[in-house]
Structure 1
């Protein structure tokens, strides 16, 4: 079908991405709250404290319907139309007129565009399905890390294991390359973390960054790791420098590195070969 009408298949993937992006917004907002509630419960058990029955549990990711975070009014189907619902409401809640975060349409639009790009790149088949899963997980991880500076194991570990399992086919990287890539991905940032901590006494990044780079190594092999690190550092420097220049981010305020790793990993996943070939031609190495 893709050979006959690639634009139709790409458009369908884009619409699917919009729908999935709406769900990813729920994951980005609710998963950290569920994690925090679980940590508090575990802490009370360890400290042998009485359970706090007055604190309601945060809403679940799947079962609880969408609602306004301010007035708690349940949203209608019209309000929940990805991207267009936000536009129709002019960015405000229909019931309390409170401004709705721009995050909702941005995540939906980004997921739609990235999903369309994956299908355009790989066509219809297993690589595209795996690529969509890869893309959606990275969007969720980047969104959560941007908001909370957390990269949940609930997402990084499945991404890592899926990359290793796909290497058995192999789909993107062979088994040996995937295992070595996962190990080097983890140990490289782990080493940087401890070196920075020994020299400065501060933590420069979190353990979630190690696990995310390990997952990218499992999907693409060890040769992708150095370009991903360099590209993520470049993106981080540009974004961080821009925010500081605009005085929207203090120099001493920590900035999550996970979104930049995710962005660089996705770019290399879909265009790494082309970027490498362009670089080699530009430098005269080929």
Structure 2
């Protein structure tokens, strides 16, 4: 009976993950634009320049707030090529993409494979989380964190941004959960948040002092603080170690095999997010393995 409940819960999490993945595609695309428009408006207000006389920026002005709402809900999804609204039955995660052969039903424009990939990836990650934690409160909150991390990963890849509107609420949620010992206690959570932020803040300034360059952004500090708040300070070393190793291997690989310009920064957030997610699920085992390996 327990196995059946676990299986059903995992399947349900996968289905919900597909739907959430579809919404995450919207968040990943629209949230950076919303942020950039907000920054632009603040700059124009500060400089006392009216939007009508400001230099045009097609990416930020198209469908501006004065003409049409632009948020995570409106406007409704539409083809970027012919601007035809996408009907609900054409927006079913993964299935609609396969049914339409990856093309717009109206103009035949190719739809990026990234959309179904994010949907399927979100569903798979949701199944793993549900199976690992079982039918527990830990699973519910771990799903929320997982979905937030997926959005952060792809936004950072696209724009080298880790939006505070995602990171900070999740950080505070982790600290609130520690009051009920969901993943760790409040003492470890508070120290973890402070230590997580301070650790990368120190690395940032030491690197800048030594090279004159900025090696990472402040969003990375907040993301590690988030994991410290959720999991406690004890997990920070393994998260830093995992993210650094993976980031170094992928970074060197991109420079050697993809001819990535070493002067173009590679976002650290995706590696940090992946390492934190792994620690969320298997942190105890990894810490035990690490301490055993170093002989502690």
Q: TM-score, normalised by structure 1?
A: 0.94
Q: Which residue of structure 1 aligns with residue 221 of structure 2?
A: 210
1:63-91 CA distance string (max 9 Å, x none)? 32111222221112232111122222222
Q: Which residue of structure 2 aligns with residue 179 of structure 1?
A: 190
More displaced 10-residue stretch of structure 1: 252-261 or 89-98: 89-98
Contact 2:6-2:135 within 8 A present in 1 as well: no
Correspondence 1:1-286 to 2 at 5 A: 3-52=3-52, 55=61, 56-57=63-64, 59-247=70-258, 249-280=260-291, 283=293, 285=295
Contact 1:2-1:123 within 8 A present in 2 as well: no
Aligned partners of 1:236 and 1:85: how far apart in 2?
Answer: 35
1:192 offset after TM fit, Å?
Answer: 0.7
Aligned partners of 1:99 and 1:241: how far apart in 2?
Answer: 32
Aligned partners of 1:5 and 1:237: how far apart in 2?
Answer: 41
Contact 2:242-2:275 within 8 A present in 1 as well: yes
1:229 offset after TM fit, Å?
Answer: 0.8
1:280 offset after TM fit, Å?
Answer: 4.8
Structure 1 residue matching 2:4: 3-state secondary structure: coil
Structure 1 residues 201 and 88 mapped into 2: Cα distance closer, same or farther (>3 Å)? Answer: same
Contact 1:2-1:124 within 8 A present in 2 as well: no
Structure 1 residue matching 2:75: 3-state secondary structure: coil
Aligned partners of 1:33 and 1:43: how far apart in 2?
Answer: 15
1:238-272 CA distance string (max 9 Å, x none)? 22233233326222211111011000000110111
Aligned partners of 1:3 and 1:20: how far apart in 2?
Answer: 25
Contact 1:17-1:111 within 8 A present in 2 as well: yes
1:116 offset after TM fit, Å?
Answer: 0.7
Gaps of 5+ in 2: none
Contact 1:2-1:9 within 8 A present in 2 as well: no
Structure 1 residues 284 and 226 mapped into 2: Cα distance closer, same or farther (>3 Å)? Answer: closer
Structure 2 residue matching 1:60: 3-state secondary structure: coil
1:3 offset after TM fit, Å?
Answer: 4.5
Structure 1 residues 153 and 69 mapped into 2: Cα distance closer, same or farther (>3 Å)? Answer: same
Gaps of 5+ in 1: none
1:57 offset after TM fit, Å?
Answer: 1.9
Aligned partners of 1:201 and 1:217: how far apart in 2?
Answer: 28
